[in-house]
Amino acid sequence: MKTVVVLAMHGAPPNDFPKHELAEFFSLYGGPGHTSETDSVAPKHRYAELEARMRAWPRTEQNDPFYHASQDLAIHLSRATGHEVIVGFHEFCAPNLDEALEQAIKQGADKVIVTTPMMTRGGEHSEVDIAAAVGRAKTLHPDVPIIYAWPFEASEIAQFLAAQIARFA
């Protein structure tokens, strides 16, 4: 059985993305996904255009340290689990979570396990957005178990943080 892990990360804009386009993107950011049917199509189209451009922007360790760190985490997670790990991003980077889940299926996964370092409850991305992407993938691929390995137990998060604190105490 081939298990593939999808590591769900947030994402960040690259620091060399044109500033005027970044400002325009964020001016449209709240609108396109939350507009009514009577709102103009032009801002939605422009938002989608800017989002696609940002997601496709070439990433380096210099222009996007978060992207680089996400890839590094995936390498370590793959070594620790023995499973292939694909990184998917909620925002700003490619591939998005839907694409990462689809990639896992296309690579012959018999089971997909989705996890995120967003450990605490109450976050919209971990509770709503990632769960929604998992739900969409389950609908598209009902024969492949797709498991969202979340939420984390508060006591386990505390132990993880205590071990980190001990390294510095």
CATH code: domain of residue 115: 3.40.50.1400
Q: What is the mean pLDDT of each run of 10 residues along the chain (169 residues)?
A: 97 97 91 49 90 97 98 98 98 98 98 97 94 98 98 96 97
Statement to judge: residues 69 and 48 lie in one domain = no
pLDDT, residue 29, reads 82
Statement to judge: residues 125 and 144 lie in one domain = yes
pLDDT, residue 129, reads 96
Statement to judge: residues 90 and 157 lie in one domain = yes
pLDDT, residue 38, reads 44
User: What sign does the CA torsion over 145, 151, 155, 157 have?
Assistant: positive
Q: Which of 75, 88, 94, 108 is nearest to 4 (CA)?
A: 108
Statement to judge: residues 33 and 79 lie in one domain = no
pLDDT, residue 31, reads 56
Residue 137 belongs to domain spanning:
3-12+64-168
pLDDT, residue 42, reads 82
Region for 64 from its dihedrals, namely left if φ exceeds 0, alpha if ψ lies in -120 to 50, beta otherwise: beta
Residue 105 CB coordination number (10 Å): 17
Number of domains making up the chain = 2
Statement to judge: residues 89 and 32 lie in one domain = no
Region for 104 from its dihedrals, namely left if φ exceeds 0, alpha if ψ lies in -120 to 50, beta otherwise: alpha
100's CB contacts (< 8 A; 6+ apart) are: 6, 8, 86, 87, 88, 89
